[in-house]
A and B are shown apart, each in its own frame.
Chain A
Amino acid sequence: MAVMGGTERAAKFRWALIDVVVLVYALVPVLWIVSLSFKTKETLTDKNFIPREWTLQNYVEIFSTNQFLRALLNSVGIALIATVIAVVLGTMAAYAIARLDFPGKRLLVGVSLLIAMFPQVSLVTPLFEMERSLGLFDTWPGLILPYITFALPLAIYTLSAFFREIPWELEKAAKMDGATPAQAFRRVIAPLAAPGVFTTAILVFIFCWNDFLFAISLTSTTSSRTVPAALSFFQGSSQFEDPTGTVSAAAVVITVPIILFVLFFQRRIVAGLTSGAVKG
């Protein structure tokens, strides 16, 4: 027994060690940025992990410039609108794919897979030309549209996996209980698919929020520039000033919504929500 306990403890220790290594590997750059954002301009390059002098100056600075606030507004607005549209369309498409047999179903799935695999970089130039001639360049819809296009395959895949998990008999039962197909979907299927919808929403939102390529290529002014693009335009108050502190502060600020988003929706992703529906 003692030997057993010993090996068990050793195994636990090994796992703990691996966990720590992974955590450190993932978190050190993040913490470094957080640390930079709290440093004063003078101590910025002192190579200390923990700031010797703490300051909120960087945060005050980014929020006092119109540039960052406007970019933040653009980011939130564009990402939210794109997420809502992509999730609504994705829900309908995924439901049809999971539940119905219609001609061209495989083709639809194939095409959406194709879009997901298409290198975005090769689309930047054509999109730029198209949006300019359509008057969409440097507007919110100009970013929302490509985001929806690339988020939809993701949404359809995640959601159709969730829909397949829901027992079809529940829908039949609802129909027998007197529900129209729309009522059956709204009152029985949708509530059960909610965890899937939230998961998908998070993924799509993060995708839109983090995008840099389209954001930098399809915008030219603050009217639609999102935070990742705006960050690259940050500069100090003079050309001799290093903007690292403010960029770090801005990076921390745009990470916060993502963390909140995940924490908030995580509670809704209750495992085993469908337990008890069918036999068990």
Chain B
Amino acid sequence: MAEIVLDKVSKRYPDGALAVSDVDITIADGEFIILVGPSGCGKSTTLNMIAGLEDITGGELRIDGQRVNERAPKDRDIAMVFQSYALYPHMSVRENMAFPLRLAHVDKETVNRKVEEAARILDLGQHLDRKPGNLSGGQRQRVAMGRAIVRDPKAFLMDEPLSNLDAKLRVQMRTSVAKLQRRLGTTTVYVTHDQTEAMTLGDRVVVMRGGVVQQIGSPQSLYEQPVNLFVAGFIGSPSMNFLPATLADGQLRTPLGPVPLTDRIRRLVESSSAPREVIVGLRPEHFEDASLLDEAERSAGGTFTAAVEVMESMGSDKFAYFLVEGETATSAELDELAAESGSAEMTDNGAQIVTRLSAASPIKEGDEAEVWFDPDKLHLFDPKDGRTLTHTG
């Protein structure tokens, strides 16, 4: 159990490349914190610096108030679960889990007791004498977890521990990782590139980009109050829709048509000295099939009409994809996100809008449909530096 403090921690490689820049995070005792970001954002480097596997080139790392920058990994009392599991292939499951205890010269009886206990928690009892080579992916993952928990370390570090599992098992293991962490109450730093994992697992989430922390907050606050375009686009699935817009005469001119500013938005925009050209962000769930709403609700929001390009029915709701003609929003952040997701928008004659509609909606693929949206829920961003203009926090 420990508090971990990263105080302006930086990593600069000998060739001058800055991998991590001035990261400030205070991780409370027992907290489950997620480092998330696209590949190359410095999240794994940050984790390795906490572990002691990479040197810290600037700033200070404190565990329980003590500076540990210069300490070897073995003297930090931290356990790590690797993406590849890194199980020792020549040792049985039991020996794998006992290895850290053996190194610590724990007596045999205690080793056995602790290994058995960990095996029970992780449901590995009947596999203790098998070699890792004979285990399934999920079992190997649990052995790796077991090796971490046997020695009651001050903290767990997990480097994408679920990314090698298939989709179904990953969801299952996600729940068990969360349960295990609650049960043990050990400070945990978890690295992932998967925003769903980040949202569902963490007490707090740290979004990183290019070695710089973008935002730290609870999953809900990141979702509702992203501080910039990058966080807004990274968190949420399907991701937020972005459209270019012009602020003029108390309203927004967007490819969806003119949108009146609600009082709340107007106040926020005025206090943040917004430029004329902005980027509007709207989450899919803030759209609805206009035909399902009564007149009062309809008039409280904006509507637009477009053809449904693709309709995905999830059972509980429907995702409708529209193509809105006009310009698309452009910014460095959005380009990076598109490159990461591999969806460098192929639509050259307009922006794609994803909407989440009620399952009751009768709209079909190819239909020309009228769609309502909630103008009070929209986010505005400065296209130049990506910062939010509608931040309330």
- List A residues at the B interface (Cβ < 8 Å): 167, 169-170, 172-180, 183, 187-188, 191-192, 272-280
B73 touching A176, Cβ below 8 Å: yes
Beta-carbon contact of A277 and B79 below 8 Å: no
B140 surroundings in chain A (CB, below 8 A): 276, 279-280
The answer to whether B164 has its CB under 8 Å from any CB of chain A is yes
Interface check B225, CB cutoff 8 A: no
A-facing residues in B250-271 (Cβ within 8 Å): none
When the two chains form their complex, are residues A172 and B74 in contact, meaning their CB atoms are under 8 A apart?
no
Task: Name the residue among A170, A179, A276 with the largest chain B CB count within 10 angstroms.
Answer: A276
Which of these, B53, B80, B84, contacts A279 with CB under 8 Å?
A: B84
Residues 82-113 of B contacting A (Cβ, < 8 Å): 82-90, 99-100, 103-104
Q: Is the Cβ of A280 less than 8 Å from the Cβ of B82?
A: no
A178, B74: Cβ atoms closer than 8 Å? yes
Bound CA–CA A279/B103 (angstroms): 25
- A275 to B134, alpha carbons, bound, how many Å? 9
Q: Is the CB of A276 within 8 A of B132?
A: yes
Residues 112-168 of B contacting A (Cβ, < 8 Å)? 131-135, 137, 140, 147, 151, 157, 164
**Chain A residues, Cβ within 8 Å of B164:** 279
Given A173-B80, A180-B74, CB of A273 within 8 Å of CB of B90: yes
A275 to B78, CA, bound (A): 27
Q: Which residues of B contact A187 (CB under 8 A)?
A: 99
Report the bound CA distance from A169 to B135 in whole Å: 19
Asked if B89 and A175 make an inter-chain contact with CB atoms under 8 angstroms apart, the answer reads no
Band of interface residues on B: 20 to 34
Looking across the interface, which residue of chain B has its beta carbon closest to that of A176? B80
Q: Complex formed: what's the CA distance from A180 to B103 in Å? A: 9
Q: Name the one of A167, A179, A272, A277 contacting B74, with C-beta atoms under 8 angstroms.
A: A179
B169: Cβ under 8 A from any A Cβ? no
Q: Are A192 and B90 in contact (CB under 8 A)?
A: yes
Are the CB atoms of B137 and A178 closer together than 8 Å? no
Q: Which residue of B lies closest to A179 (CB)?
A: B103
B72 within 8 A of A: yes
Q: Which residues of B contact A280 (CB under 8 A)?
A: 133, 137, 140
Q: Which residues of chain A are within 8 angstroms of B51 by Cβ–Cβ distance?
A: 176
CB nearest to A192 among chain B residues: B90
B90 touches A279 (CB 8 A): no
Q: Taking A170-B88, A192-B89, A276-B140 as contacts, is the C-beta distance between A177 and B103 under 8 angstroms? A: yes
Q: Is the CB of A276 within 8 A of B74?
A: no
The contact of A173 among B86, B90, B131, B137, by CB within 8 Å, is B86
Give the top 9 A-B pairs by smallest Cβ distance, nearest first. Answer: A276-B133, A278-B84, A276-B132, A173-B86, A177-B100, A169-B86, A277-B89, A176-B80, A178-B103
